[in-house]
């Protein structure tokens, strides 16, 4: 009897240790968090062509995917990688590819194909300093506009931009969820600094992770339309091999997927592509604000610059300056409402970026009235990050007009 008691006590102890291990902080790299997030979201297919600074995503998934019965394939280049994940997704897989600037450029045409065929796919772009091969191991934020307008033709984009290792994990899951829900190609933009950075993180329990899967058709196969929107402009999607017949083409198509030249059918297709974003903007846009309710000057920054700005805002507030921060987690669609309100509320906005001013253009677009806050750019394009002290100097410069 005493023996039994001892054993049960021991098991209890073991359980306590296991539980403790789950909640304990671990040291993790940004790219590792992306791979872990993809697995948590149910990713079971990766095709890619390894490139610094995104290589670890491919490296980890090449180890992990076979263990869960998934597929890892190293393609001959990025064009083939993007095409492979579109094919995999059409066959029902949750598919991912990861790349950096040069590869992202090659993927653009196929990203457009994923958008017009409304195929759920996720592309991770760990940005490096460009153009061209640029500086493989240095950060740059040059792909902000490319992630929006990189493909030809006027289709909207969903682009998420994390600023920490933990957020990289969360937004990877979100990228999959949005891709499945909106039947589109979702881009996760990262900074080289974040991809390679290691940080102490406590990841959430996987059982609490919310995973969204694509809507499946409920109609008999002969009634199935591959593009049959509901009131929210979202449509069910069947996978190849499930008995539903559909046609997939990059040509402008009708509801069944067959090419069409009729203006009314073309207009309907383009309307759906745009409206599924516009009508669900509240679901898509995520922002983080700090001290904006009492700010005289605001800092608007994304990704790693958002993080540097957070420190700069903290330093400014320690000196008694009324400064706030607005950081978009979704950069496309652009958080127009939040930015318009910010411009109305503050005297000046500082926009630090590791490029010549790409988010800055969007802010300029939203300045509507003369009494709106003035805009001040802070740019760097040399492969290093703007430090909080430099942002603070800029804040002080504009603080008193």
Partner 1 sequence: MSKKKMIKEVRFSGSGGQGLILAGIILARAAVEDGLNVTQTQSYGPESRGGYSRADVVISNEDINYPEATNLDILLSLTQEACDKYIFDLKRDGVLICDTSHVKNISIINDNTYEVPFTEIAQKELGSEIPTNILSLAFVVKVTNIVNEKSLETAIRASVRPAFIDLNIKAMKLGFKLAKEYQL
Stretch (H or E) spanning 376: strand 374-379
Contacts with partner 1 in 277-306 (CB under 8 A)?
304
Binding of residue 379 to partner 1 (CB under 8 A) = no
State the pairing for strand pair 95-99/121-127.
Answer: parallel
Contacts with partner 1 in 104-163 (CB under 8 A)?
136-138
The residue among 96 and 316 lying less far from partner 1, judged by its C-beta, is 316
Name the residue among 299, 313, 295 with its Cα closest to residue 350.
Answer: 299
Binding of residue 196 to partner 1 (CB under 8 A) = yes
Q: How far is C-alpha 10 from the geometric centre of its chain's CA atoms?
A: 45
Least Å distance, CB 184 to partner 1, is 31
The residue among 290 and 362 lying less far from partner 1, judged by its C-beta, is 290
Binding of residue 389 to partner 1 (CB under 8 A) = yes
The residue among 192 and 255 lying less far from partner 1, judged by its C-beta, is 192
Return phi, psi of residue 71, to 5°: -120, 135
The residue among 193 and 378 lying less far from partner 1, judged by its C-beta, is 193
Least Å distance, CB 18 to partner 1, is 18
Name the residue among 222, 268, 262 with its Cα closest to residue 246.
Answer: 222
Return phi, psi of residue 325, to 5°: -130, 135
Residues 204-233, mask of contacts with partner 1 (x by CB under 8 A): ------------------------------
The residue among 37 and 306 lying less far from partner 1, judged by its C-beta, is 306
Classified as helix, coil or strand, 80 is helix
Name the residue among 375, 249, 371 with its Cα closest to residue 300.
Answer: 375
Spatial distance between the Cα atoms of 183 and 177, rounded to a whole number of angstroms = 10
The residue among 22 and 25 lying less far from partner 1, judged by its C-beta, is 25
Spatial distance between the Cα atoms of 327 and 170, rounded to a whole number of angstroms = 16
Least Å distance, CB 314 to partner 1, is 7
Least Å distance, CB 253 to partner 1, is 44
Single residue of 9, 10, 13, 198 touching partner 1 by CB under 8 A = 198
Binding of residue 58 to partner 1 (CB under 8 A) = no
Report whether 173 contacts 164 (CB < 8 A): no
DSSP H helices in 52-117: 55-67, 78-90, 101-116
Report whether 52 contacts 212 (CB < 8 A): no
Least Å distance, CB 21 to partner 1, is 13
Single residue of 166, 181, 310, 327 touching partner 1 by CB under 8 A = 310
Name the residue among 284, 287, 332 with its Cα closest to residue 306.
Answer: 287
The residue among 101 and 388 lying less far from partner 1, judged by its C-beta, is 388
Q: Using the CB atoms, write b or e for 205-229: b if 16+ within 10 Å.
A: eeeebeebebeebeeeeeebbbbbb
Contacts with partner 1 in 20-49 (CB under 8 A)?
25-27
Q: Count residues contacting partner 1 (CB under 8 A)?
A: 23
The residue among 20 and 371 lying less far from partner 1, judged by its C-beta, is 20
Least Å distance, CB 55 to partner 1, is 12
Region binding partner 1 by CB under 8 A among candidate stretches 82-90, 255-263, 342-350, 386-394: 386-394
The residue among 52 and 239 lying less far from partner 1, judged by its C-beta, is 52
Binding of residue 381 to partner 1 (CB under 8 A) = no
Spatial distance between the Cα atoms of 159 and 122, rounded to a whole number of angstroms = 10
The residue among 193 and 363 lying less far from partner 1, judged by its C-beta, is 193
If phi over 0 gives left and psi between -120 and 50 gives alpha, with beta otherwise, what is residue 185? beta
Single residue of 166, 276, 307, 327 touching partner 1 by CB under 8 A = 307
Spatial distance between the Cα atoms of 171 and 181, rounded to a whole number of angstroms = 15
Residue 359 has a CB neighbour count (10 Å cut-off) of 25
Bridge partners for 250 per DSSP: none
The residue among 126 and 385 lying less far from partner 1, judged by its C-beta, is 385
Single residue of 90, 129, 160, 308 touching partner 1 by CB under 8 A = 308
Single residue of 64, 199, 345, 397 touching partner 1 by CB under 8 A = 199
Sign (positive or negative) of CA dihedral 60, 66, 69, 73:
positive
Which letter does DSSP use for residue 292 in this model? Answer: G
Least Å distance, CB 41 to partner 1, is 25
> Can you give the binding site for partner 1, defined by CB under 8 A?
25-27, 52, 136-138, 193, 196-200, 304, 307-308, 310-311, 314, 385, 387-389
């Amino acid at each position: 009897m005493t023996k039994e008691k001892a054993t049960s006590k021991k098991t209890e102890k073991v359980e306590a240790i296991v539980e403790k291990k789950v909640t304990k902080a671990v040291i993790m790299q940004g790219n590792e968090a992306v791979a872990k997030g993809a697995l948590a979201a149910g990713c079971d297919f990766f095709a890619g062509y390894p490139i610094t600074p995104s290589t670890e995503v491919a490296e980890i998934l090449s180890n992990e995917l076979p263990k869960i019965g998934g597929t890892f394939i190293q393609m001959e280049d990025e064009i083939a990688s993007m095409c492979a994940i579109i094919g995999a997704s059409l066959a029902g897989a949750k598919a991912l590819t990861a790349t950096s600037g040069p590869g992202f450029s090659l993927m653009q045409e196929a990203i457009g194909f994923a958008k017009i065929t409304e195929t759920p796919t996720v592309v991770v772009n760990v940005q490096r300093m460009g153009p061209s091969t640029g500086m493989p191991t240095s950060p740059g934020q040059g792909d902000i506009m490319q992630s929006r307008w990189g493909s030809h033709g006027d289709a909207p984009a969903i682009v998420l931009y994390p600023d920490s290792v933990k957020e990289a994990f969360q937004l990877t899951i979100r990228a999959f969820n949005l891709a499945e829900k909106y039947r589109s190609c979702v881009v996760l933009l990262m900074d080289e600094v974040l991809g390679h950075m290691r940080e102490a993180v406590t990841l959430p329990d996987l059982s609490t992770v919310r995973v969204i899967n694509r809507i499946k058709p409920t109609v008999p196969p002969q009634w199935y339309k591959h593009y049959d929107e509901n009131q929210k402009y979202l449509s069910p999607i069947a996978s190849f091999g499930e008995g539903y017949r559909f046609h997939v083409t990059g040509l402008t198509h009708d509801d069944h997927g067959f090419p069409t030249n009729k203006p009314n059918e073309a207009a309907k297709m383009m309307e759906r592509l745009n409206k599924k974003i516009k009508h669900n903007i509240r679901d898509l846009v995520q922002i983080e604000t700090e001290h904006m309710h009492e700010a005289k000057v605001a800092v608007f920054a994304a990704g790693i610059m958002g993080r540097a700005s957070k420190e700069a805002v903290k330093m400014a507030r320690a000196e008694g300056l009324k400064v706030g921060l607005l950081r978009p987690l979704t950069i496309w669609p652009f958080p127009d409402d939040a930015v318009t309100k910010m411009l109305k509320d503050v005297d000046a906005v500082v926009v630090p970026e590791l490029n010549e001013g790409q988010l800055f253009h969007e802010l300029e677009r939203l300045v509507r009235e003369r009494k709106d806050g003035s805009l001040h750019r802070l740019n760097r394009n040399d492969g290093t990050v703007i430090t909080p002290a430099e942002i603070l100097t800029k804040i002080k410069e504009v603080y008193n007009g």
